[in-house]
Chain A
């Protein structure tokens, strides 16, 4: 298992997304842009759903590098309090259970689970309720 690209997630367990913080304005973005204007800024693991849709057809390849077999997946924007609103897949949730405002946490999922050496992409899943 390897990340789909370098510099997207921290090496911690569990990992965090690596955003960029603008050195002058403090604006936070994801991913961290190259160059000196932004410094690395690991983002919060937890957030709330800001908006979503369901991707219901297989994107064209290239650029899409996922499996030939297609199953619809949710694509969302997740608000990480005070930092940024990050675009991400949703995982481990049925479309009918998705609600704006629901608490979410970061996870990593395989772009192609059947691949010999799957590449990991970021996703958010419903946050585990503290018991």
Chain B
């Protein structure tokens, strides 16, 4: 079967844009992606749109044009963008369509998300007692992981330091000032061992990708960035997820491990073949755990990887080349598509000051979220 190709990308800068709705930021990204692809809105046959908190994506046809196209909304937590992209590629693979759009955008209020127990099928006392706090979960998870695999607190700091350093060169990133390792380590604790620089924040932004069949991509004369795999998976028994009043004694795998294994199988390559990786880093330790869960290193090797700079732009496997969630923030609907945007930029060689050297040919994107969902994409040039 011929591949699905990504022929146009667009992004509205992440962060805070007062006066512009999340939807408008999505529309901005779509127009940029159309221009990049050299396509007209009237040529787009279908769209999948993802937004958690900024409205129904399909209503953007009001601004883009009432062409009558098929437009399906996707809501899938942190995997929403990945799910939109998965659905879009299936629409082309099925032979039904040749040219379509995956778009994601969001706009969250300032401060931490404020979830309610009932939305997670939990009793009210759980929230009343102060447990509906995502940072508690992230911190408990990494504390256990650090204990089991000998990961140092300095490694958490190194991940954050790298994120802000890479973001200096990413025009779409939010926090683009470098922060010294000492300042990261000495900052106020939010949930031990994480200081305030080690968590990402809810944010705003929009990303759009134009997808085409290989035949259509060749007609349009675009460089062929092939989507070799897109896999979205849910959790197995024994995983450790947010808002858990108890977890099983018998520990198990994770949604990430399943999605990653299946994506590599679909692409017919392995972790050693990947040149660039964007890994979900809602907090610094997530990037560390996800390096192993996605098969790039063994549990416990991360300290050495980070100390030796193996995940830097010029390292063996550059990770989160645009600063990831730590520097870009997390507009939920757009976050997974940002990774794919960044991977396309890198594979085209358009990364500027953050360009990975050596003419990279393969790029990996990974999102993970509540309550145990993960989506992985693999691109090849």
Contact = CB atoms under 8 A, between A and B. Distances in A.
Chain B binds chain A: yes
A19 interface: yes
A86 B141 CA distance: 13
Contact of B143 (A51, A64, A87): A51
Contact of B192 (A5, A53, A65, A83): A53
A4 to B, nearest CB: 5
B90 interface: no
Interface residues of A, number: 41
Interface residues of B, number: 34
A4 B190 contact: no
A31 to B, nearest CB: 6
A76 interface: yes
B2 interface: no
A128 interface: no
A75 B131 CA distance: 8
B225 to A, nearest CB: 41
A5 B130 CA distance: 14
B190 A57 contact: yes
A83 B139 CA distance: 23
Interface in A78-131: 79, 82-87, 89, 95, 100, 111, 119, 121
B143 A56 contact: no
B192 to A, nearest CB: 5
Nearest to A51: B144
Contacts of A55: 130, 133, 136, 191
A62 B246 contact: no
A38 to B, nearest CB: 12
Interface string A46-58: 0000111111110
Interface stretch (B64-72, B119-127, B290-298): B119-127
Contact of B130 (A28, A59, A76, A95): A59
B125 A62 contact: no
Interface centre among B131, B133, B193, B246 (most CB of A within 10 A): B246
A91 B131 CA distance: 15
Given A51-B143, A63-B116, A75 B136 contact: yes
Nearest to B125: A5
B249 A5 contact: no
B183 interface: no
B248 interface: yes
B128 A111 contact: yes
Interface string A7-31: 0100000000001000000011111
Contact of B248 (A4, A27, A65): A27
Contacts of A29: 245-246
Contacts of B110: none
A82 B133 CA distance: 27
Nearest to B112: A60
A85 B124 contact: no
A8 B246 CA distance: 13
Nearest to A84: B246
B245 A31 contact: yes
B192 A111 contact: no
Interface centre among B125, B127, B135, B244 (most CB of A within 10 A): B125
| 7 A-B pairs with least C-beta separation | A63-B127, A53-B139, A65-B128, A51-B144, A5-B125, A30-B246, A84-B246
Given A4-B128, A84-B248, A89-B129, 14 more contacts: A27-B248, A29-B245, A30-B245, A31-B123, A31-B245, A50-B144, A51-B144, A56-B190, A62-B127, A66-B130, A75-B133, A77-B144, A77-B247, A111-B128
Interface of B: 112, 114, 116-117, 123-125, 127-133, 135-136, 139-141, 143-144, 147, 188-193, 244-249
16 contacts: A50-B144, A51-B141, A53-B192, A54-B192, A55-B133, A57-B190, A59-B132, A59-B133, A64-B128, A64-B130, A65-B129, A66-B129, A75-B136, A79-B249, A82-B249, A89-B129
